[in-house]
Structures are given as structure tokens and as C-alpha cells.
Amino acid sequence: MFKWLGIQAVVGLSVLVLLLSACSGENAESETDVSPDLEYSVERASAEEAPEVIPAHEGINHEPTPLDIERDGDDVYINMTAQITDIEIEDDYNYKAWTFNGEAPGPVVVVNEGDTIHFTLDNMDPSIPHSMDFHAVHTAPDKGYADVGPNEDGTFVYQASSPGVFMYHCGTDPVLSHIANGMHGVIIVQPDDGYPTDDEVDQEYVIIQNEWYKYNDLDNMTNEEPSQVVFSTKALHEDQPNTNGTVGALIDEPLEAKVGDKVRFYINNVGPNEISSFHVIGTMFDDVYIDGNPANHQEGMQTVGLPASGGAVVEFTVKEAGTYPFVTHQFEHVHKGAIGELIVTE
């Protein structure tokens, strides 16, 4: 049933976009009635709407840049880019995203508790400043998260002194535009002493929830519902999928486990506006570490609430072969794309 729902949502959404784009004004309203499962009052963003691309961004589509991270003892040198890259967030709908490294969400960054981060942002955007706000560090924001001008780079140094699953994002004004246009991601600070359940875990994945709005439309981002709510995964290990936050990403590239595995998800809801009610259908979480801090250990949870920017480590055991969808249990958002699948085999 839920398999059906997932496919129906993805296929149905595309159909709806086609319907909307094929119809004008008043017709569009009646046409949406043929798809009652997908009724909602929000006008979906689509390729047919003229995007308000900043003139200087027209014609720019930077190739994704691999994350550059090097370690020297407890010093970690992280080089990232702010860049403009097209992302197909739904079939035939390209979004000229403002990104870190050409991914939205940006690449996952993993460091250790106690590391000193030497972070350099190379701003490849020719027209506007960008910045980096790592929730994982203590710093005076006007210094550590300062703007880096167009075609410039800036270096910042801070400690990762608390373990967790943290959001990062561009903090340049207006912050909502920068986050909603794609400048968000996750930094994991691994606890010094690990998690008490480390030895039990067989598979681990990163899952991120984010929303999309009408292209670069601050009024829409401020006052309206998201047009897409999506999950993505970022590769923690070789051979794992690494996706953008696009409709159907984790149905097209499902995650995998074996019967009896204990599965760990590092999850974060980068928003920018909505909360997440993270739930895996067909199981419950044996162990949860709110915000990824081992001190915040909870057991036996059905759903984990993630405020905008909130993270968690969730662990569960899959006892039977099959397809386990994961969702935010605000099902209006499932119909906008917030569903993925874990395939469990013998």
C-alpha cells in the first residue's frame, strides 16, 4: 500500500505539474480535482513558470565540485565552494540552485569532536556574497560566519567541540533566500567516545529533509507552503548513493539492508521552514540520540520530531525482508515528495 502511495505520489506529482502547465488559471483548478490524492491549495512550482534568475546567474551552471577535506592531526582543512548549479528537483524542472559544491543539500562533512576546523569558502558566484554558518561550532557570527564577496574566498577557524548531527547553511542576508535556494547541508561531529550502540550497528546512512519553493521568490518562501518537500542521502561510505534533494531521489536510489541488521540513520531537517516528523514504516527506533549527542539517548520512539535545523541519530532493527518506506509523518509532505525506501533482503 505504501509502495503504491510512494509511486503514486511521484507519478501523480508529475502528472499534476503537466496538468497545471497545460491549463490556464480557472481550468487548472478543476483539473486538479481529477487527482484527489494530491489536492492541496498550493500552486506547485514548475518549469513553466518564468524563474526570477538573477541576471548575472543566467548562463551559469557550475559543474559540481568534489568536497576537499584534509586532516593533519586534530586540524581539519575544509575547502568548499559557493556556486550556481542546475538541479532537476522534479522531472523536467530545473532549479538554478545556489549551492555548496554544486549539491543541494551540500556534501556531508564529517569531523571529530575536538577538531579545529580551518574552513575556506571559495565564492564562485560573480554577483552576490555568500557565507557559511556551521551549527557545529562556537564563534561570533559576525566574524566566523562573515560574508565572502563575489569571486572572493575567505578562511575561518573554529573548534568542533560538541558531538552531533548539525545543519550548516549560508547565513547571508536574506538568509531565507540563501537556504531555500539550496545553500544547506549537514556536518557530523563524531563523539569522542562514540555512541553506546556503535558495536551493534550494521548499516549507516545520512538522510536530509529539505523544502523547495517558487524559484528565488522570497515572498513565496516567506508566506506560502513549500511546493516540494524531499529527502536526500549523502554517501558516508564508498558505494553508497549520494543524491540531491529531489522528488523521488530515495525511491529511485533506495537504501539497503539485510534481515536482522541494526540500521543507523543520521538525520537532519534543514528546512528552511517546516518541521519534520521522521518515521520509518514497519519498525520503531530502538535508540535515538537527539541532535546526535550521545547524552540525549532515548529508546522506543515511533517518530522523531526534528525542528528546522534539528538532527538526530536513529537506530532500528529490520526483522523481516521487504520494503520499508520512511517519511515525515506530516503526510501532506509525503505527497510533495518526502518519502524514501529502505530495501531489506535476506
Contacting residues toward Cu ion, per CB under 5 A: 130, 170, 172, 178, 183
Minimum CB–partner distance for residue 146 and Cu ion (Å) = 12
Give the count of beta carbons closer than 10 Å to the beta carbon of residue 149: 12
Is the CB of 80 or the CB of 267 nearer to Cu ion?
80
What is the distance between the alpha carbons of residues 84 and 62, in angstroms, rounded to a whole number? 6
Cβ at position 172, least distance to Cu ion in Å: 4
Angle at 176 between CA 252 and CA 154, to 5 degrees: 95
Q: How far, CA to CA in Å, does 214 sit from each of 221, 232, 238, 281?
A: 7, 19, 34, 30
Tell me the C-alpha distance between 290 and 280, whole Å. Answer: 16
Instruction: Considering the complex, state which of residue 181 and residue 227 has its C-beta at the smaller distance from Cu ion.
Output: 181
- Nearest-10 crossing angle of helices 2-22, 25-32: 160
- Residue 129 CB, shortest distance to Cu ion, in Å, is 7
Nearest to Cu ion of 85, 233 (CB atom)? 85
Residue closest to Cu ion when measured from CB atoms: 170
CB of 127 to Cu ion, least distance (A): 11
- Specify the amino acid at residue 83: Q
Q: How far is the CB of 169 from Cu ion (least distance, A)?
A: 8
Between 109 and 170, name the residue whose CB sits nearer to Cu ion.
Answer: 170
A 10 A CB-CB count for 311 gives: 27
Locus of grid cell 500552486: 43
User: Which is closer to Cu ion, CB of 172 or CB of 246?
Assistant: 172
